[in-house]
Amino acid sequence: MGKQKITLDFETAYGAKLKLGFKHQTTQQYLNDPRFEIIGVGTKINNAPTKWGVGKQERYLQSIDWDNAILIAHNALFDASILSWHYGIKPKIIVDTLSMARALHGVDAGGSLKALAERYEIGVKGDEVVHAENKFLRDFTPEELAKYGEYCMNDVDLTYELFKIFAPKFNKVEIKLIDMTCRMHSEPKLTLDIDILQDHLYRVKKDKEDLLTVNGVTREDLMSNDKFAALLKNLGVEPPMKDVKPTKKNPDRKGKTFAFAKTDDGFKALQEHENFKVRNLCAARLGHKSTLEEKRTERFLQIVDECGALPAPLKYYGAMTGRWAATDKINLQNLPRGSLLKKAIIVEPDHVIVGADLSNIELRVGLYFAGQMEKVALLGSGADLYKDFASSVFEVPYDAVDDEQRFIGKTSQLSLIYGVGAEKIRAAIKQGSGKDIGADEAKRIVDLYREEYNHVKTAWDQGREVLDWLWVTSGETFGGNGTVKRGMFGGGPLKLDVYNLCGINLPSDMFLNYPDLQKYAKTHEMTYHSRQGRVRIYGAKCFQNTVQALARCVMGEAMVRINERYPVALTIHDAVYCVVPEHEAEEARRFIITELRKEPSWAPGIPLDAEGGYGNNLSFKMTKL
């Protein structure tokens, strides 16, 4: 990289008795707590011996040329935020070894410094931090501070060794994405409107109480599954049921349970029930069982009170596909459309939020990757694939497709590309339109799609073959480091190398893999390890994961280009948001859309599209150029 490397680790006051630290607070709450105190800091400049300094060490840290320095830290979101918020220091580049570990080993693998040190056999992490709990600087003896310093310097050395191991495996784009993700938190560009938040919280609470009054039930009735089931039966409705899922502790778990989760198909159907009393009852349960909107609004108000700005805490490589994920109890990734919380996210005067969203990115990438090139060409010509498939389903000319038919075409396109069957496509259409197309019609649509999109269907079969390549039995042996190329994945111009131990090699130079992949002899079913237990994996799902990972690569490369001109303030799924001077709003919108539309070098000819907009809050409408 050619710049001065500063490996750094802050030791700060924390403790259960104090209710201070990560176990009790978000990073923002912790750093803005009046009791927050820096006990000391360990630093390593390039490969020089590591130093320990007691206290804030402001003069020393300010003496470093950070404009030409790379900050290296383990959990850099924390250390970079301390540098920014308590010292006003903003390094040229921020590198996080915790983020690197998640990308290399999977989001469910142990990413602690202790676990990684053991994994790579680079040393042993000490335990002096345990003896520092509930202590401020004044509480340490000189001997204790000296031991704490040794502990901190060891952490710095371990972090630097990890960096040397990890760095060669990351290209420039991924390094810049790590840096960008850290800065969304350490250098926040968004803020919040307290008046909108207070009004919204009042309305959310009032709506919940009104739902109880209208339905004549108690909160206890709604929160209890058994009592809620009884309320449904009193209305002549049989409560929906679902199979219970095996768990890690109980892999043989079987039976039925109520399907009352908001994501359950049975509960979704109840929300569209012909009896308005049933619909109201479901709305009341959602209002009281799911307090997400209320809690999030209260959390936003707390943020305003603590510091005013809205840091965006995100995990780089928060999902196995490489996509960002929320962290630190602030989930900006699933703000509902039309939510007043979006209107409450604002910027400073004379500035606007400019954002753009990739259009149908998974559909475009999926068809390109599968090799369904005649449909890719249609996309490139500006055709509407939803109408195109609807014209086949209903046997009408393209221009004669009406809105109801197009909806069925859209639902089919977005679901069937990932191997969804007749039962699920029927439920999806009913949920969105209220119309039940029937089992026979659903099957006809599925069969028609698989015939018309034959290359997509072949890609699912290829996905199963890829899983077999990745599944290594105990009897197999391989030369060298145990990794060999097993084949290639992809039916179109883009083909990805697949290695037996590493996984599917993505354009980002990262790998998509399935930890502890297992195959069951009797059923041939395959599962892999996650924190939620064993997860089923099959060909169409492998194809879906790969498409989502490729879509993330498209987004990541575009964000890096955008960030060079307009620093990225936030990303939500396939959208990117920047804060720019108001007079540059339209120019920035056009620039961001143009960058999102650019085809990556590894996918020549893929027709990408995007729409964008701007406003003084996050609720603006996006349109095409």
Q: What is the rounded distance in angstroms from the CA atom of residue 394 to the CA atom of residue 413?
A: 15
Per-residue tokens: 305: 């009170």
- pLDDT at residue 58, as a whole number: 96
pTM of the entire structure? Answer: 0.88
Tell me what the mean pLDDT of segment 219-230 comes to.
Answer: 89
Instruction: Mean pLDDT check: name the lowest of 415-424, 469-478, 479-488.
Output: 469-478
The gap from C-alpha 496 to its chain's centroid, in whole angstroms, comes to: 23
Three-class HEC string of 246-280 = CCCCCCCCCCEEECCCCCCHHHHHHCCCCCHHHHH
The pLDDT confidence band at residue 2, using thresholds 50, 70 and 90, is: low
Q: Read out DSSP for 141-183?
A: -HHHHHHHHHHHHHHHHHHHHHHHHHGGG--HHHHHHHHHHHH
Output b/e per residue, 373-402; b: 16+ Cβ within 10 A: bebbebbeeeebbbbbbbbbbbeeeeeebe
- pLDDT at residue 482, as a whole number: 55
Tens-place pLDDT, residues 49-78: 999 999 999 999 999 999 999 999 999 999
Tell me what the mean pLDDT of segment 486-510 comes to.
Answer: 92
Q: What is the rounded distance in angstroms from the CA atom of residue 302 to the CA atom of residue 26?
A: 11
Q: What is the rounded distance in angstroms from the CA atom of residue 57 to the CA atom of residue 253?
A: 56
Q: What is the rounded distance in angstroms from the CA atom of residue 8 to the CA atom of residue 350?
A: 37
Instruction: Mean pLDDT check: name the lowest of 72-81, 185-194, 468-477, 599-608.
Output: 468-477
- pLDDT at residue 130, as a whole number: 86
Tens-place pLDDT, residues 343-400: 999 999 999 999 999 999 999 999 999 999 999 999 999 999 999 999 999 999 999 9
Q: What is the DSSP letter of 583?
A: G
Find tokens 């990115």 and name the residue.
361
Query: Is the pLDDT score of 151 beyond 50?
Result: yes
Q: What is the rounded distance in angstroms from the CA atom of residue 288 to the CA atom of residue 450?
A: 42
Cα angle 409-335-178, degrees, rounded to a multiple of 5: 100
Instruction: Mean pLDDT check: name the lowest of 64-73, 231-240, 502-511.
Output: 231-240
**Residue 526 is inside which H or E element, if any?**
strand 526-530
Tens-place pLDDT, residues 581-610: 999 999 999 999 999 999 999 999 999 999
Instruction: Output the average pLDDT for the chain.
Output: 91
- pLDDT at residue 477, as a whole number: 44
